[in-house]
Amino acid sequence: MRILILMLLLPVLAFAAGESGANSQSTINVMPLPASVQMGPGKLKLDGSFAVTTTGYTDARLQAAVRRLQQRLEGRTGITLPQGVAPIGTAAVLKITVKQGGAAYPKLGDDESYALVIAGGGITLSANTMWGAMHGMETLLQLVSGDLEGYYFPLVTIQDKPRFPWRGLMIDVGRHFQPVDVITRNIDGLAAVKMNVFHWHLSEDQGFRIESKRYPKLQGMGSGGLYYTQEQVRDVVAYAADRGVRVIPEFDMPGHTTAWMAGYPELASAPGPYEVQTQWGVFDPTMDPTREETYQFLDGFIGEMAALFPDEYFHIGGDENNGKQWQANPRIQEFMRTHGYHTTAELQTYFNQRVLQIVQKHGKKMVGWDEILTPDLPRDAVVQSWRGYKSLDYAAREGYGTIWSTDYYLDHMGPAEYYYLSDPVPADSKLTGEQASHIVGGEVCAWGEFLSPENIDSRIWPRTAAAAERFWSPRAVNNMADMYRRLDAVSVWLEQDSTLHLSSTDKMLRQVSGTAELGPLGLLGKVASPEGVGVREQFYRQSPPGTQLVPTQQAPMVNVTDAVVPDPPYRRQFAALVDQLLGDAPKFAASSAELTQAFQQWRDMGPGFAAMAANAPLLQNASSRVLQLQKLGSTGLEALKYLQTGTTPPAEWSQAQITLITQAETPDASMLKLPWLRSYRELVLAAARVGEVKSTGAKEWKQKILDEATRQEPAQKYTW
Amino acid sequence: MRILILMLLLPVLAFAAGESGANSQSTINVMPLPASVQMGPGKLKLDGSFAVTTTGYTDARLQAAVRRLQQRLEGRTGITLPQGVAPIGTAAVLKITVKQGGAAYPKLGDDESYALVIAGGGITLSANTMWGAMHGMETLLQLVSGDLEGYYFPLVTIQDKPRFPWRGLMIDVGRHFQPVDVITRNIDGLAAVKMNVFHWHLSEDQGFRIESKRYPKLQGMGSGGLYYTQEQVRDVVAYAADRGVRVIPEFDMPGHTTAWMAGYPELASAPGPYEVQTQWGVFDPTMDPTREETYQFLDGFIGEMAALFPDEYFHIGGDENNGKQWQANPRIQEFMRTHGYHTTAELQTYFNQRVLQIVQKHGKKMVGWDEILTPDLPRDAVVQSWRGYKSLDYAAREGYGTIWSTDYYLDHMGPAEYYYLSDPVPADSKLTGEQASHIVGGEVCAWGEFLSPENIDSRIWPRTAAAAERFWSPRAVNNMADMYRRLDAVSVWLEQDSTLHLSSTDKMLRQVSGTAELGPLGLLGKVASPEGVGVREQFYRQSPPGTQLVPTQQAPMVNVTDAVVPDPPYRRQFAALVDQLLGDAPKFAASSAELTQAFQQWRDMGPGFAAMAANAPLLQNASSRVLQLQKLGSTGLEALKYLQTGTTPPAEWSQAQITLITQAETPDASMLKLPWLRSYRELVLAAARVGEVKSTGAKEWKQKILDEATRQEPAQKYTW
């Protein structure tokens, strides 16, 4: 599921890169943008009189949500607020009305709508359910504003409800375990952007991460001691439910199961013993679908897990069975002949059917990856699509609930705009309305090869907030500049409340360098981003044996590439500077000071970086990228000079710069990308052709240069 | 205990400010500096062959310590190491020998010595006890170095043992509760710098923070739900013991007990009802020392707690009883007359004696603050001294174990050097050797008025590491420059392993400003430090009613002053720049570029800061300090010009600058200090008298200016 997907993504990139959308700039910082917003003039001051009352249905969960709202408001404003729900009769600033008694646990299709009216006299939040009320509180929190008179809420009337009912995040804790606090703080993040599914990928070749009391060797021999106790799982499920988030466990089978076989080798289709896998890839160990004992085991196990997870859905994985163990086992081959199965895919269908019966026996509906979709799959199963629109649309046409995940693999390290623009039901979808209605939403996937508790938040956030808007807001909401403006705001709130994505880069760079004064490394940390998983694995596989770069589960994730963030704001900042400069032809004065300062910093960072690297070997594989950055700084200054003097540079200069850019785009041992090279390329090409400015109108000239830059991009390499 | 101490400190300041010490620069980054270090030439490469074996005594605790060592080594180097203790017979790189079986729990006076020999052929770590071995592992971790060939250990022979056996940190969780993860990560920090006592201040007027099963209204009505369960306490005690750290609970009595009385008003010396106190100060509620029921209650309670905490010492507080309830209660007055007590202090002695009997009955020795030292106190009690050397030395002369804490109040926000130079037994101590031997060590105190889980680490670290060296290393180790060099190194390791003190400032400033791009606020965050608790409380008390600045327990701690750190490295960096500049008379070229850049940044930060503050009211009370900083930038540029041109400025210029500095030193609503103003004053005075340079030798001139600067300091205000 890891490498293939990268290839599939490439054709989409041209689409992903542009800024498009009919939707205009919004004026509030709410993300996801509500379905309907009417701004009024004026504001409602926020002060120590902020009493909250509830009418209609209430319970301990709602009261706890109110207390969290108050604490988070206090954290944003420094104002001491009255705590808890005020007694009936209090003159409240915020009146919350929930119509129906809330279910103990959220389920697919629950009413999540709410109405929020902020008027001069106070705030009214109305919802049919607890979940809607909690969504409304998140909106309210994001509306807090400040001016010279203090904190306030803008006057606004919001009617809101989600576009899709299934809005999820998958975290793979199999490849690298993530402690409970990582899970809960990311559930906080989900709730903050109105997502409602946490998909917990609990077993993998590399680890079995949950306690089974019935089969204790699963975690006992399959986890290296890193697993969740059932008590912890119950706590996480309750924590999530209190925030309107469903928890769906995934136990991937029949492949991706090496860790099960460490304790129970009899489950496998080839003789053991087995050890937990520590490398990355697709491996042979596969459950034996021909033995009744396999199903007896799964009946016991799934029964135990079904009791632990109250959600009506249960994910059985089903992906990437390479069939090798089945082909090599004469008994299994004989079984296939007897049953008339010609391919291992057909045998897997048989296996899926058997597992389906077990899942149903324990009162659950089944979810699986694309591969489970075979003719006899019952219509209440849900298919999670990772192989593109063709698979997604096929499942929807067949009437299956489907979840869009193909474009949402976070480990490809794409920019937020890529996730944002990938729509489960795009405007040009060929599906009928009825068919499209089977697409229940999407899930962002955090695969675990290179996730540590230190950096996982920065891989998930803030990009997942952009996907959350795609899942929640109307399809027409797609103004990219406005999305990024709101993403920058929500990103700060997310970290304030729970996640660590804004702090982790500098923290990890201090660790990598062994110093608190980051200097040139801090600069590198701002302008670089990590290569995606496909590039990283491929490069590592080609690296000489014995190098530190061969990744295994045990390899510490303390390289610069582990610290820097995907889609750093610097990419957009630099693009804006270049855009302003080129738009200011023929003087090229706009943003010139800022670009000059940046280029000088790059040019001059070498000695400082070298001095740090001399004491910190972990920095040394970034040296080649830093050298390129230095050269890009020098060249950038030259390009500015050519532009501002109107002098056309020699042809050799231009060629040398394109070569340099190409080198800087090529993956190297640093595993670092410079994600603003597209804008840099525009600058260099503009300098190379500055003579044309006078013969063309400044505006036309700029477009011509941009077209030229796009043509020069090496299609298979220039991604993001 | 809060305000008084500030006054006591003042006379010491002149001593604290200087950099003195016969001890020369060390060449290793270990803190505390070991008792004996012999560096050899050469190095031992660290690579994937780093196998560890143990001989002599071993157990699960040692093996867990080895695994932590390996994980931390991996985090520092990115090298995948063999995990766990290797089988006997393995060719080990690190051989650990522990001579005696370890006790389950550490106690005062345990042998903590170790010997660490790093030779070309491998590493030998020998210790008599588990505690010594763990100290040696911390030393080993701090010795990791890097060069262009990779990571290595320098060859070295270390013999090490502590100077004092009691090396502690007190955390007050009564005034503000701190979650368990705050406690455990700070215990990690203690272990990293070889401290061995965590003093848990568990009850206060503002909160009762531990579960009592016998008296459940203590936490039920006294904590607002914020307390540690007994299970959590047992976990913390075990966690600490695994790291060689003792846990000593403190239940402050008979004063500081309002929170007890919320649930049990009958304990008080005046009729109830009582509510948990939410303000700061010394309050009236005091236990009734005349009723037998009080002692029956305490017998039950102390018995329950004594079983929970295995340490042989039990802290009963005893400080700051204002006596008012006792004076106002006729029955208590009658009791005093009957017993012949003339003062409430005498009555408190009676109370202490009764409590002492209870503590002893439950198998514990008593610890208390200065006030417990009265004639009948048994000699195995330990006195924690917070009222200066007079109290400390008196207790030691009387033969009591004594702990030095007077100068170690972190909330005064002094620089590390202040804590570093305050010696429990200074070189000029008048105590005999026998008397001095009763001083068992010291404790750093983190009082909780302005501590949040977000900023507590930055109040404790890295300054506590400097105190740790004072408690561990020989008295002669006191080279200030070398201390700070090593403190900077250990500070990074501390955060890597556990604490958050380096990340919290920017994280909190993002929260305060609501933006991830800190710009001028980031600059302010680097150059400013928080005012001490005394200044802060006094200023707040004088502020008009209704302002947001009146501090209570509920007030959110999200001001700039809560985010910035005491003793920011910028103070030293700026001092070094000024020092270099003045030392370069009469050209004044050295460091001129760096100072010019800094002054320009200050001068120009106003508009950017104002723009941020316009949307973030929490920033607005820092505006006046920013305005002063801007002016200091402009003036600094002028001072540079006067110096470099050798032009004596007009007298009005000099006077205006001194006025400006005085204003910038005066506490204001920002509660921010500019802790480098002493160096800035030197610069301005030098400019004012630049004409003298030629008539004096450059060196003599500089000294003259410095003396002049010192004389001009307003003695009662210029602290740190």
Place of tokens 């477009």: A703
Locate the chain B residue with the closest alpha carbon to A562: B78
From A131's Cα to the closest Cα of chain B, the distance in A is 26
Closest to B421 in 3D by CA, of B462, B464, B478, B488 = B478
Residue A646: per-residue pLDDT: 93
Whole-number percent of chain A with pLDDT over 70: 94
Q: A246-251 and A197-204 as β-strands: parallel, antiparallel, unpaired? A: parallel
pLDDT-based confidence at B195, cuts 50/70/90? very high
* Chain B residues whose beta carbon lies within 8 Å of the beta carbon of residue A548: 78-80
Residue A707: per-residue pLDDT: 79
From A532's Cα to the closest Cα of chain B, the distance in A is 20
Tell me: pLDDT of A16 over 50. Answer: no
At A446 the three-state DSSP class reads strand
Active site (annotated) includes residue B231: no
Among A269-278, A551-560, B599-608, B637-646, the minimum mean pLDDT is found in: A551-560
Residue B109: per-residue pLDDT: 95
At B626 the three-state DSSP class reads helix
- A78/B548 Cβ within 8 A: yes
Helices assigned H by DSSP within A111-151? 130-143
Query: Of A75, A558, A614, which has the smallest distance from its Cβ to B75's Cβ?
Result: A558
Tell me whether B231 touches chain A (CB under 8 Å).
no
Tell me whether A145 touches chain B (CB under 8 Å).
yes
∠ CA B426-B432-B436, nearest 5°, is 55
- B556/A80 Cβ within 8 A: yes
Residue A369: per-residue pLDDT: 95
* Chain B residues whose beta carbon lies within 8 Å of the beta carbon of residue A488: 515-516
With beta carbons less than 8 A apart as the criterion, state whether B267 and B301 touch: no
What pLDDT digit, counting tens, does each position of A481-517 carry? 999 999 999 999 999 989 999 999 999 999 999 999 9
Q: What is the ipTM of this complex?
A: 0.92
Tell me whether A555 touches chain B (CB under 8 Å).
yes
Tell me whether B181 touches chain A (CB under 8 Å).
yes
Locate the chain A residue with the closest alpha carbon to B556: A78
Whole-number percent of chain B with pLDDT over 70: 94
Query: Of B150, B488, B503, which has the smallest distance from its Cβ to A506's Cβ?
Result: B503
* Chain B residues whose beta carbon lies within 8 Å of the beta carbon of residue A516: 488, 491-492, 502, 569
Closest to B371 in 3D by CA, of B321, B435, B302 = B321
Tell me whether A78 touches chain B (CB under 8 Å).
yes
Residue A708: per-residue pLDDT: 75
Residue B712: per-residue pLDDT: 65
From B190's Cα to the closest Cα of chain A, the distance in A is 19
Q: B197-204 and B166-172 as β-strands: parallel, antiparallel, unpaired? A: parallel
What pLDDT digit, counting tens, does each position of B605-643 carry? 999 999 999 999 999 999 999 999 999 999 999 999 999
Hey, which residues does A154 pair with through a beta bridge?
A43
Q: What are phi and psi of A306, to 5 degrees?
A: -60, -30
Whole-number percent of chain B with pLDDT over 90: 85
Tell me whether B545 touches chain A (CB under 8 Å).
no
Tell me: pLDDT of B422 over 70. Answer: yes
Q: Which residues numbered 601-660 in B keep a CB inside 8 Å of some CB on A?
A: 614-618, 620
Preferred mutation among A492, A498, A609 to probe B, highest tally of B CBs within 10 A: A492
Tell me: pLDDT of A7 over 60. Answer: no
pLDDT-based confidence at A550, cuts 50/70/90? low
Question: What end-to-end distance do the CA atoms of chain A give, in Å?
Answer: 20
Largest CA distance in chain B: 81
Residue A107: per-residue pLDDT: 95
* Chain B residues whose beta carbon lies within 8 Å of the beta carbon of residue A617: 77-78, 146-151
Q: What are phi and psi of A162, to 5 degrees?
A: -80, 150
Tell me: pLDDT of A478 over 50. Answer: yes
Tell me: pLDDT of B599 over 50. Answer: yes
Catalytic residue selected from A312, A320, A398, A692: A320
Query: Of A150, A502, A515, which has the smallest distance from its Cβ to B492's Cβ?
Result: A515
- B558/A492 Cβ within 8 A: no
Most confident of A99-103, A686-690, B172-176: B172-176
Residue A3: per-residue pLDDT: 41
Mean pLDDT of A529-544: 85
Please report, as a single letter, which amino acid is at residue B411.
Answer: D
Mean pLDDT of B429-455: 96
- A511/B76 Cβ within 8 A: yes
What pLDDT digit, counting tens, does each position of A591-647 carry? 999 999 999 999 999 999 999 999 999 999 999 999 999 999 999 999 999 999 999
Residue A536: per-residue pLDDT: 87
* Chain A residues whose beta carbon lies within 8 Å of the beta carbon of residue B77: 556, 558, 617-618
Residue B50: per-residue pLDDT: 96
Element (H or E) spanning A24, and its range? none
With beta carbons less than 8 A apart as the criterion, state whether B268 and B274 touch: yes
Residue A692: per-residue pLDDT: 85
Closest to A297 in 3D by CA, of A256, A258, A266 = A266
Catalytic residue selected from B320, B371, B443, B531: B320
Whole-number percent of chain A with pLDDT over 90: 85
With beta carbons less than 8 A apart as the criterion, state whether A399 and A379 touch: yes
Question: Which DSSP category does B26 fall into?
Answer: P
Place of tokens 């993040």: A189
Residue B377: per-residue pLDDT: 85
Q: What residues have CB less than 8 Å from A67, skipping those under 6 apart?
A: A83, A84
Please report, as a single letter, which amino acid is at residue A427.
Answer: A
Mean pLDDT of B282-308: 97
* Chain A residues whose beta carbon lies within 8 Å of the beta carbon of residue B145: 615
What pLDDT digit, counting tens, does each position of A26-82 carry? 678 999 999 999 998 999 999 999 999 999 999 999 999 999 999 999 999 999 999
Element (H or E) spanning A202, and its range? strand A197-204
Residue B23: per-residue pLDDT: 45
Preferred mutation among A81, A180, A511, A670 to probe B, highest tally of B CBs within 10 A: A511
- B80/A489 Cβ within 8 A: no
What pLDDT digit, counting tens, does each position of A436-458 carry? 999 999 999 999 999 999 999 99
Among A546-555, A562-571, B232-241, the minimum mean pLDDT is found in: A546-555
Q: What are phi and psi of A713, to 5 degrees?
A: -70, 130
Tell me: pLDDT of B280 over 70. Answer: yes
- A146/B615 Cβ within 8 A: yes
Q: What residues have CB less than 8 Å from A292, skipping those under 6 apart?
A: none
What pLDDT digit, counting tens, does each position of A309-364 carry? 999 999 999 988 899 999 999 999 999 999 999 999 999 999 999 999 999 999 99
Beta-carbon neighbour count of residue B350 at 10 Å? 17
- A618/B148 Cβ within 8 A: no
What pLDDT digit, counting tens, does each position of B509-529 carry? 999 999 999 999 999 999 999
Tell me whether B220 touches chain A (CB under 8 Å).
no
Mean pLDDT of A461-475: 98
* Chain A residues whose beta carbon lies within 8 Å of the beta carbon of residue B512: 78
What pLDDT digit, counting tens, does each position of A349-369 carry? 999 999 999 999 999 999 999
Residue A15: per-residue pLDDT: 30
At B394 the three-state DSSP class reads helix
With beta carbons less than 8 A apart as the criterion, state whether A599 and A680 touch: no
- Mean pLDDT, all residues of chain A: 92
From B86's Cα to the closest Cα of chain A, the distance in A is 17
What pLDDT digit, counting tens, does each position of A391-437 carry? 999 999 999 999 999 999 999 999 999 999 999 999 999 999 999 99
Preferred mutation among B452, B501, B511 to probe A, highest tally of A CBs within 10 A: B511
Tell me: pLDDT of B326 over 80. Answer: yes
Tell me: pLDDT of B249 over 90. Answer: yes
Q: Which class for B641: exposed (0-12), middle (13-18), buried (19 or more C-beta within 10 A)?
A: middle
Residue B228: per-residue pLDDT: 98
pLDDT-based confidence at B547, cuts 50/70/90? low
pLDDT-based confidence at B708, cuts 50/70/90? confident
Locate the chain A residue with the closest alpha carbon to B146: A615
- A617/B150 Cβ within 8 A: yes
pLDDT-based confidence at A376, cuts 50/70/90? confident
- Mean pLDDT, all residues of chain B: 92
Beta-carbon neighbour count of residue A279 at 10 Å? 12
From B209's Cα to the closest Cα of chain A, the distance in A is 20
With beta carbons less than 8 A apart as the criterion, state whether A29 and A142 touch: yes
Q: How far is CA B124 from CA A552, B28, B74, B121, B421, in A?
A: 30, 18, 20, 10, 33
